[in-house]
Every structure is written in structure tokens, then in C-alpha cells.
């Protein structure tokens, strides 16, 4: 899987051939080493060019091999191959088109020169797989760029565009033309010239002042951002090795660190996320529709109705994907403000026009409705859209909780109605839930999934139910957090446990950020709170279940969160972001407990995690059982890309498998026994059946799910 040919009489061109990304599989490694040896021993060869076949240079080591030690160990090791490349007595030029990532860039760093196409990008993204650059990258890159720039690239894993790579000195030259031809010409010009200085393994790292202080600070910084992930810290340690140790010692350190990471649960979880993200594109529905049998009609024009928080972001996301967008808003001041905000985000007009009239949506291929969360308002709009829009146009709602089927039934085209559930801010957040009802056609789902990809989203096809997948699972999580407050916890304790687990924000900080009033409005619509609701039932019970009115009481006090400067925390002013503990809240909780005869008890972080996360996971099993999500992988993609679940923990369903399904079941049983009035803690039957069938690995859960009624 490496092509070898001689061109221009003296240049050996070695081309890596392993579509689609030319990953360095065992067969590629074998081929590469043989080719390098052939070039070394052929007296006619005076220089070498290494390139990728059919475009991309190389996407790095073959990630599919990582889960299996015997795969990892078969074929020559990358370190050995790269040493042979660097040691070659003939100039070796990397010809980089497309991308050189991970092991791909490490190969290029072992070459004596690096030629890049002007549109190529390079990077060492191993950290996002829970790893570090383990084939010399952590040692060679700092020797080439200096510690600061190398550390930044390695710890963030960011892709660097060719222009920046040239400025950094990572690429030696750029071309707009044929990269291999340019590299061949350059290789010939370098034939016979000394190479010692071009071998990065021979070079010391450029000196850095106050090296110890620099790395201490780098470690603190990385720890602060890592949210419990081990890989970023190992990256810092490896780069410190490059700065302080001779090359071979540094390579030994890199190897030791890599072995620890590679066998860790975190790397397994991160790898799982890598494939889960991509797997979501291969959607299926139990009605038999599939990603590979459904043709999507292209969408080139869209209308967005309602230009509040969500509508603005959706407009930007659609415009950035190249669609021509008409944005509709009835409130004049909102329209003006939105126009300014959207233009700012798009840095100009960006193919967006504005109107106050719904008729402007007449020509659109797709309409996304993003008005207030009010069924009556949305029903009226869908009725109008059904007659205003051209035949074939898809009608989508961005509702986060309302019934898609009900909206579909207001139209004369229910098969073209769906939910496009964006997350705030819609132009930034990666997740898109594509929600279909029983009457939504497969072609509609296909078109939405294709559009999601164009917008750079991780799009997950889900079924219709209250809260769809993400918000449905969030409800029991939030509920347990409230119950914990009643029982003696503080928002600070709950948030600290969740943040230590790896969430960017605990549940109470998150709730302050999104606004407590949103949930309050939904609970009022559901009849759970509001005037007269508690007249005939206890304050802490609704429909026979335990209910915490804490959120409602907070809203009644005008504590909506950041927007009012007061919520579960205190803020310096409305809109400020820094959360401070609020003594008022402590007395409020004490009085509340006293009023309801609740005795505060000591609650530890383990209970917080188990109550909140197991309740969420339990609902995830129910979602699977109901067929609202097609797979546990889809649920995990939703949580990682939409709800801040830490990647190095794989997603809630993966986490459950890693903890052990029997342990999760046991935990739920224990807590349900202690809180029998909280049905979300009652283990669902799918979880019981999985445990009874020996807790199969996650990719086999669907076999146990089969046979269940599906709503998709
Ligand atoms: C006892 C224990 C012993 C332990 C020993 C430890 C020593 C081991 C030594 C190993 C040394 C390894 C050193 C090296 O530093 C490690 C690496 O290189 S890790 C890999 C780093 N590379 C990446 O992270 C890049 C990942 N890929 C991407 O970012 C993107 O795919 C892309 C390259 C930018 C292309 O993007 P797109 O064009 O959008 O395409 P897709 O993303 O949809 O991908 C298409 C298809 O390809 C699959 N794929 C992509 N990259 C890889 C890969 N590196 N390996 C395998 N497969 C890959 C991807 O999954 C898609 O397929 P699908 O999933 O859809 O079937
Ligand atoms: N805010 C979030 O975090 C979030 C996240 C996901 C989904 N959602 C959903 O997105 C939708 C919009 O939420 P938002 O937070 O952007 O609301 P918002 O209140 O910020 O904006 C709603 C906008 O719709 C406009 N509007 C009302 N009726 C209209 C009509 N008939 N025609 C045109 N415009 C009209 C209003 O003037 C307002 O500008 C809701 O359904 C909500 O549930 C919100």
C-alpha cells in the first residue's frame, strides 16, 4: 500500500495509498519501510519524494487499529520507519496536499524538507483522541518551531492552515500548482547537499528562558482546560522532555507516556467519540429508510421565521453553508437588531435578505421556524406556511419541546414537516437533532441530514417525543439536582461534582446561563405550576410523584439567572457571567427545608454523580427502548456535541458500559428504594434485560433492543 516509482531519472516517489485518508495501517507501514529501503539501496536514486495517493498526504495512524494490541504490533512501528526516513543519506521531501495530520505530520517531520499545497492543513490532533503524538512528533516539532508554538499545536491539536504553517517554519515552501511535481523539482535541486542540519532529531530545541517556570505554568493552564482529561497534561510533559532531554531520551519519554495513554479508558472513550461522530451520518429509521437508499433533494434557499436568539444563529449557520436566506421577523425593532447582529457575525451581508412578511418565504426550499415556544403561535405559522410555500418546500421547527406531529397536522404536507433542533448559539454548537414524526418522509430526513453536514453539524436523526432525545434525558438529571438541594446539598456542591466529572459547567450554572424562566414557562404549560395548581395536592407532589417547586419559587422571586443578575448564584449585574455564592440562597434553602420538614443531611460528590448521571442514563435506555434514538452511539453523539458531556468519557451510554451496567442497575435500585416517589430512578426494563443477558458490549445492545415497539 505504498506505490514506488522513479521519475526524472533520479527521484524515487513513494506514494501512500490507503483511501480515503491514507492512514498508516500495518500494510502501509510495511510498504513504506520497503520503499524507503529500496530508495536507500538503489544507486540510481539520488533523492526521494513522499506523497499521498489521490490527494491527501496522510490522516495519521490508522485509528481502527488502536483498539487491538495485536493490530498495533503487526507490521513495522512508525518510529522505526520515521528513523529510517530521517537517516536516509539522500534528501527526502514531503509533498503535502490536503492534510498531514498526526502520524502523517510526524512522517513529514522526519523528512528533510516539507512542501505544501497552499490549501493544505497540518496538525497533531492526537490529543483529541486521548493520546499524544507518539511517533516522534512531540520531540521533533519543538525542535523545529520552538517550544511555545509546538506546545500550542500539540496541546490544542488544532489544524494549521498552510499559510500559517509556512510562517511558523513548519512548511518550507508552498505551491498553488502540482505539489508532487514541485517537490520532485526541488528534490533534484537538493541532491548531494549536506543533510545533517535538516535532521530534526539532530537538532537541539531552541533555548527558552525560565524553562521550569514556563512548564509549570503550561501545566497549570492545561490542567485548567483539560476537565480531567489526561492527554493534554501528558502532551506538556512530552514537550518538556523535548526541551530538556537529548532526542533519544525524549523519544523514550514519549513512548512511555504514549503506552499509558493508549491503554487508558479515556483514549478508548475519545476514539469511540471519533467514530460515533461519523457514524451518525449513516442514519436509519425502523420504517426501513436508510442514509444509503434515500436521495436527498438539494436545498439552496431557506427562510428563517423569528429572529430572536435562535433565529439569528440559524440564519448565520445557513448562510455560512452557502444558502441564500430570507430572514423574517414581525417586530420592527427585533428585525433591525437582528439585521445588525447577523451582519456582524457574517462580517457583511452574506446572502441574507430581511422581511417582516411571511410571504417572503414563498420561494424557499426550506423554512426554519424559530418563534416563541408557544404551540398556538407555531400552529398558526405552520398553517400559513403550508399555503404560502412552494410545493416540495420542507417546513422545519426549532422547537425544543413541542409536538412535531401536531405541527405537521396543521399543514397539507405532513411528510415534509420535521424538527431541526439547533442548540444555542446555533452557528457555533455542533449538534443538530433532526426530528422526524411518523409521517415525515425519508427524503425529508435525507435532505435535512445532508444540510446538517453542509453546515458542519453533527446531525443525529431522532424520533418525536417530548424533549426529543437530549432534553428528554436532561429532565431527570435536572430533577435529581433539585432533589439533592432539598435534601441538603448546595448548588456549589452539585456543580463542583459535575465539573470535576468533566462538564464545562455544573447544572445550576448552566441553568443560570440559559435562564430559569424557560423551564418555568414549560412547567406552566404542562400544568405543573401556576395559580391554583397546588390547591388540591401537596406542594412537593405532582400527579403522585415527587416534585420540587424550587425552580418555580426562584422565578417567583424574579431570579431568572444571569439575565437578572440573580439565580442559583449571584452576578455583579444583569448579564454578567461570573457566578458567586449567594448567602441569600443558603437561607432560602434552609427556610424551605424547615417549612417542609426536610432534614438536611451530608451529601457527597459520589451521590451527586450517581443520582444525576444514572437518572439521565436510565432515561437514555428508555429512549432506546422506545426507538426514539436508533443506537446508543447516537445518544452519545447528542450528549458530547450538544450538552458538554466530556469526550474523554465517551457519552452517557458509553460511560454506563464503562462503569458496568450491573453497577448502574445496582445504584439505581439503591436510590429508587430510598426515593420510591421518584420514578426516574426506577431502573428501566432494557437495562435489566441487558444485565440479565450478561451486559453485552455497547455495539451489541441493539440485539437486545430488537423486538421493541419503535416510534421512529
Ligand atoms: C500494549 C499496548 C501497546 C501500546 C503501544 C503504543 C504505541 C503505539 C504507537 C502508535 C503511534 C501512533 C502515533 C501517532 O501519533 C498517532 C496518530 O496518528 S493518531 C491519528 C491522528 N489523526 C487524526 O486524528 C485525524 C483523524 N481524521 C480526521 O480528522 C478527518 O478524518 C480528516 C483526515 C480531516 C478527513 O476529514 P473528512 O474528509 O471530513 O473525512 P471523515 O472524517 O469523514 O473520514 C473519512 C473516513 O476515514 C476514516 N478515518 C479518518 N481518519 C482516520 C484515521 N486516522 N484512521 C482510520 N480511519 C480514519 C473516518 O473514520 C471515516 O470513515 P467512517 O468512520 O465514516 O467509516
Ligand atoms: N434559546 C435557546 O437556547 C433555544 C435552544 C433550542 C431551541 N430553542 C427554541 O427556538 C425557538 C425560539 O427561541 P428563542 O430563544 O430564539 O426565542 P426568542 O424569544 O429569542 O425569539 C423569538 C422571536 O420570534 C419572533 N416572532 C414571534 N412571532 C413571530 C411571527 N409570527 N413571525 C415572525 N417572527 C415572530 C419574536 O419577535 C422574537 O424575535 C423556540 O421554539 C425555542 O424553544 C431555543
Q: Which domains does the chain have, with CATH numbers?
A: 2-262 (3.90.226.10), 301-468 (3.40.50.720), 471-595 (1.10.1040.10), 605-705 (1.10.1040.10)
CB of 116 closer than 8 Å to CB of 74: no
Ligand 1 centroid to 104 CA: how many Å? Answer: 10
pLDDT tens digit sequence for 155-203: 999 999 999 999 999 999 999 999 999 999 999 999 999 999 999 999 9
Ligand 2 centroid to 357 CA: how many Å? Answer: 16
* Sign (positive or negative) of CA dihedral 355, 359, 362, 368: positive
pLDDT above 80: residue 707: no
0.90 surpassed by pTM: yes
Ligand 2 centroid to 575 CA: how many Å? Answer: 19
Question: What DSSP state is assigned to residue 172?
Answer: S
pLDDT above 70: residue 423: yes
Q: Is 329 in the pocket of ligand 2 (CB under 6 A)?
A: yes
Q: In terms of C-beta distances under 8 Å and separation of at least 24 residues, what long-range contacts does 346-352 make, across chains too? A: 346/316, 346/319, 346/320, 350/316, 350/319, 350/320, 351/319, 351/322, 351/323, 351/324, 351/325, 352/315, 352/319, 352/324, 352/325, 352/326, 352/327
Nearest 5°: the CA angle 461, 20, 156 is 75
The Cα-based distances of 232 to 102, 266, 386, 436 in angstroms read: 15, 12, 52, 39
pLDDT tens digit sequence for 108-160: 999 999 999 999 999 999 999 999 999 999 999 999 999 999 999 999 999 99
Q: Of the candidates 120, 136, 105, 109, which has an alpha carbon nearest to the alpha carbon of residue 180? A: 120
Which ligand number lies closest to the CA of residue 517?
2
Spell out the residues 6+ positions from residue 536 whose beta carbon is closer than 8 angstroms to its own. Answer: none
Q: What CA–CA distance (Å, rounded) separates 563 from 555?
A: 12
The Cα-based distances of 486 to 366, 490, 547 in angstroms read: 46, 9, 11
Q: Is 149 in the pocket of ligand 2 (CB under 6 A)?
A: no
Question: Cis link prior to 406 (omega < 30° from 0)?
Answer: no
Choose the residue to mutate in 23, 25, 27, 60 for probing ligand 1, maximizing ligand atoms within 8 Å of C-beta. 60
Ligand 2 centroid to 329 CA: how many Å? Answer: 10
Q: What is the pLDDT of residue 710?
A: 42
Band the pLDDT of 67: cuts 50, 70, 90: confident
Nearest residue by C-alpha to atom 35 in ligand 2: 306
Q: What is the pLDDT of residue 349?
A: 73
Ligand 1 centroid to 641 CA: how many Å? Answer: 19
CB neighbours of residue 404 within 10 Å: 25
Q: What is the pLDDT of residue 288?
A: 66
Q: Is 384 in the pocket of ligand 2 (CB under 6 A)?
A: no
Q: What is the pLDDT of residue 543?
A: 86
Q: Is 178 in the pocket of ligand 1 (CB under 6 A)?
A: no
pLDDT above 70: residue 708: no
The Cα-based distances of 117 to 157, 184, 408, 478, 648 in angstroms read: 20, 14, 49, 50, 33
Q: Is 278 in the pocket of ligand 1 (CB under 6 A)?
A: yes
Choose the residue to mutate in 305, 307, 309, 427 for probing ligand 2, maximizing ligand atoms within 8 Å of C-beta. 309
Q: Is 313 in the pocket of ligand 2 (CB under 6 A)?
A: no
Alpha helices by DSSP H, listed for 355-490, are 375-388, 404-408, 442-454, 470-487
Which ligand number lies closest to the CA of residue 399?
2
Q: What CA–CA distance (Å, rounded) separates 122 from 133?
A: 13
Nine cell digits for residue 538:
401537596
Q: Which residues of 588-611 are buried (b: 16+ CB within 10 A; e: fewer)?
A: bbeebbeeeeeeeeebeeebbbbb
Q: Is 64 in the pocket of ligand 1 (CB under 6 A)?
A: yes
Q: Is 137 in the pocket of ligand 1 (CB under 6 A)?
A: yes
Nearest residue by C-alpha to atom 50 in ligand 1: 21
Q: Is 72 in the pocket of ligand 1 (CB under 6 A)?
A: yes
Which ligand number lies closest to the CA of residue 435?
2
Round the average pLDDT of the chain to a whole number and report it: 95
Interface pTM, i.e. ipTM: 0.97
Spell out the residues 6+ positions from residue 340 whose beta carbon is closer than 8 angstroms to its own. Answer: none
Q: Containing H/E element for 283?
A: none
Question: Helices 652-659 and 661-674: crossing angle, nearest 10°?
Answer: 100
Band the pLDDT of 711: cuts 50, 70, 90: very low
Ligand 2 centroid to 373 CA: how many Å? Answer: 7
Nearest residue by C-alpha to atom 15 in ligand 2: 309
Question: Cis link prior to 238 (omega < 30° from 0)?
Answer: no
Q: Is 305 in the pocket of ligand 2 (CB under 6 A)?
A: yes
Active site residues: 106, 126
Q: Is 577 in the pocket of ligand 1 (CB under 6 A)?
A: no
Ligand 1 centroid to 23 CA: how many Å? Answer: 7
Which ligand number lies closest to the CA of residue 18?
1
Q: Is 494 in the pocket of ligand 2 (CB under 6 A)?
A: no
Ligand 1 centroid to 102 CA: how many Å? Answer: 8
Choose the residue to mutate in 21, 128, 235, 458 for probing ligand 1, maximizing ligand atoms within 8 Å of C-beta. 21
Q: Is 69 in the pocket of ligand 1 (CB under 6 A)?
A: yes
Band the pLDDT of 712: cuts 50, 70, 90: very low
Band the pLDDT of 286: cuts 50, 70, 90: low
pLDDT tens digit sequence for 336-349: 999 999 999 999 87
Choose the residue to mutate in 303, 306, 367, 522 for probing ligand 2, maximizing ligand atoms within 8 Å of C-beta. 306
Nearest residue by C-alpha to atom 27 in ligand 2: 371
Q: Is 424 in the pocket of ligand 2 (CB under 6 A)?
A: yes
Q: Is 370 in the pocket of ligand 2 (CB under 6 A)?
A: yes
pLDDT tens digit sequence for 571-621: 999 999 999 999 999 999 999 999 999 999 999 999 999 999 999 999 999
Please state whether beta strands 541-542 and 545-546 pair in parallel, antiparallel, or not at all (unpaired).
antiparallel
Question: Does 348 or 489 have the greater pLDDT score?
Answer: 489
Nearest residue by C-alpha to atom 25 in ligand 2: 306
Atom number in ligand 1 closest to CA 104: 18
* Maximum Cα interatomic distance, the chain, rounded to a whole number of Å: 95
Q: What is the pLDDT of residue 69?
A: 78
Q: What is the pLDDT of residue 533?
A: 79
Ligand 2 centroid to 379 CA: how many Å? Answer: 14
Ligand 1 centroid to 201 CA: how many Å? Answer: 25
Nearest residue by C-alpha to atom 3 in ligand 2: 424
Q: Is 275 in the pocket of ligand 1 (CB under 6 A)?
A: yes
Q: Which residue has the cell 437530549?
A: 470
Atom number in ligand 1 closest to CA 63: 55
CB-count burial class (<10 Å; 0-12, 13-18, 19+) for 290: middle
Amino acid at each position: 500500500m505504498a506505490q514506488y516509482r522513479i521519475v526524472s531519472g533520479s527521484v524515487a516517489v513513494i506514494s501512500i495509498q490507503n483511501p480515503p485518508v491514507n492512514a498508516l495501517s500495518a500494510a502501509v507501514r510495511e510498504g513504506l519501510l520497503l520503499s524507503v529501503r529500496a530508495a536507500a539501496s538503489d544507486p540510481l536514486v539520488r533523492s526521494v519524494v513522499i506523497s499521498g495517493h489521490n490527494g491527501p498526504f496522510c490522516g495519521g495512524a490508522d485509528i481502527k487499529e488502536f483498539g487491538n494490541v495485536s493490530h498495533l504490533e503487526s507490521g513495522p512501528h512508525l518510529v522505526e520507519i520515521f528513523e529510517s526516513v530521517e537517516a536516509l543519506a539522500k534528501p527526502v521531501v514531503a509533498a503535502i496536499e490536503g492534510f498531514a495530520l498526526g502520524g502523517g505530520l510526524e512522517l513529514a517531520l522526519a523528512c528533510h524538507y516539507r512542501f505544501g499545497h497552499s490549501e493544505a492543513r497540518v496538525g497533531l490532533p492526537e490529543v483529541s483522541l486521548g493520546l499524544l503524538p507518539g511517533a516522534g512528533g512531540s520531540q521533533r516539532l519543538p525542535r523545529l518551531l520552538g517550544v511555545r508554538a509546538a506546545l500550542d499545536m500539540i496541546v490544542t491539536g488544532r489544524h494549521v492552515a498552510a499559510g500559517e504553517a509556512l510562517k511558523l517554519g513548519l512548511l518550507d515552501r508552498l505551491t498553488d500548482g502540482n505539489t508532487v511535481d514541485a517537490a520532485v523539482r526541488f528534490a533534484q535541486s537538493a541532491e548531494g547537499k549536506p543533510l545533517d542540519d535538516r535532521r530534526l532529531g539532530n537538532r537541539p530545541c531552541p533555548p527558552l528562558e525560565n524553562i521550569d517556570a514556563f512548564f509549570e505554568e503550561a501545566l497549570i493552564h492545561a490542567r485548567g482546560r483539560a476537565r480531567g482529561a489526561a492527554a493534554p497534561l501528558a502532551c506538556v510533559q512530552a514537550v518538556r522532555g523535548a526541551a530538556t532531554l537529548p532526542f533519544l531520551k525524549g523519544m523514550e519519554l514519549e513512548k512511555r507516556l504514549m503506552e499509558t495513554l493508549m491503554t487508558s479508558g479515556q483514549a478508548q472513550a475519545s476514539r469511540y467519540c471519533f467514530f460515533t461522530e461519523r457514524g451518525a451520518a449513516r442514519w436509519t429509521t425502523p420504517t426501513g429508510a436508510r442514509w444509503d437508499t434515500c436521495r436527498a433533494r438539494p436545498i439552496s434557499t431557506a427562510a428563517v421565521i423569528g429572529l430572536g436568539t435562535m433565529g439569528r444563529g440559524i440564519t448565520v449557520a445557513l448562510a455560512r453553508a452557502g444558502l441564500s436566506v430570507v430572514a423574517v421577523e414581525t417586530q420592527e425593532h427585533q428585525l433591525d437588531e437582528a439585521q445588525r447582529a447577523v451582519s456582524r457575525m457574517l462580517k457583511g451581508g452574506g446572502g441574507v435578505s430581511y422581511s417582516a412578511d411571511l410571504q417572503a418565504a414563498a420561494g424557499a426550499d426550506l423554512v426554519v421556524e424559530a418563534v416563541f415556544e408557544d404551540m398556538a403561535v407555531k400552529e398558526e405559522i405552520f398553517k400559513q406556511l403550508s399555503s404560502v410555500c412552494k410545493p416540495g418546500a420542507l417546513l422545519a421547527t426549532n422547537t425544543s419541546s413541542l409536538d412535531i406531529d401536531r405541527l405537521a397536522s396543521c399543514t397539507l404536507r405532513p411528510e415534509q414537516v420535521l424538527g431541526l433542533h439547533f442548540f444555542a448559539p446555533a452557528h457555533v454548537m455542533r449538534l443538530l437533532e433532526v426530528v422526524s414524526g411518523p409521517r415525515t418522509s425519508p427524503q425529508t430526513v435525507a435532505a435535512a441530514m445532508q444540510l446538517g453536514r453542509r453546515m458542519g453539524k453533527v446531525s443525529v436523526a431522532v424520533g418525536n417525543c417530548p424533549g426529543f432525545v437530549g432534553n428528554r434525558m436532561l429532565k431527570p438529571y435536572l430533577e435529581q439536582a433539585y432533589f439533592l438541594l432539598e435534601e441538603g446539598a448546595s448548588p456549589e456542591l452539585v456543580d463542583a461534582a459535575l465539573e470535576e466529572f468533566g462538564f464545562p459547567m455544573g447544572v445550576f450554572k448552566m441553568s443560570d446561563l440559559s435562564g430559569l424562566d424557560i423551564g418555568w414557562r414549560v412547567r406552566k404549560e404542562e400544568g405543573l405550576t401556576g395559580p391554583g395548581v397546588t390547591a388540591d395536592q401537596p406542594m412537593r407532589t405532582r400527579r403522585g410523584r415527587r416534585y420540587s417547586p424550587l425552580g418555580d419559587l426562584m422565578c417567583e422571586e424574579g431570579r431568572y439567572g444571569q439575565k437578572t443578575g440573580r439565580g442559583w448564584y449571584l452576578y455583579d449585574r444583569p448579564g454578567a457571567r461570573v457566578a458567586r455564592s449567594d448567602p441569600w440562597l443558603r437561607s432560602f434553602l434552609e427556610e424551605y427545608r424547615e417549612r417542609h420538614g426536610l432534614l438536611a443531611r451530608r451529601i457527597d460528590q459520589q451521590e451527586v454523580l450517581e443520582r444525576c448521571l444514572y437518572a439521565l442514563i436510565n432515561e437514555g435506555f428508555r429512549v432506546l427502548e422506545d426507538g426514539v434514538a436508533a443506537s446508543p452511539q447516537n445518544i452519545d453523539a447528542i450528549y458530547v456535541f450538544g450538552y458538554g458531556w466530556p469526550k474523554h468519557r465517551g457519552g452517557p451510554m458509553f460511560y454506563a458500559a464503562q462503569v458496568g451496567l450491573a453497577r448502574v442497575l445496582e445504584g439505581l435500585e439503591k436510590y429508587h428504594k430510598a426515593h420510591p416517589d421518584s420514578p426516574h430512578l426506577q431502573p428501566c426494563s432494557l437495562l435489566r434485560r441487558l444485565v440479565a443477558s450478561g451486559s453485552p458490549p455497547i455495539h451489541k445492545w441493539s440485539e437486545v433492543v430488537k423486538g421493541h415497539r419503535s416510534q421512529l
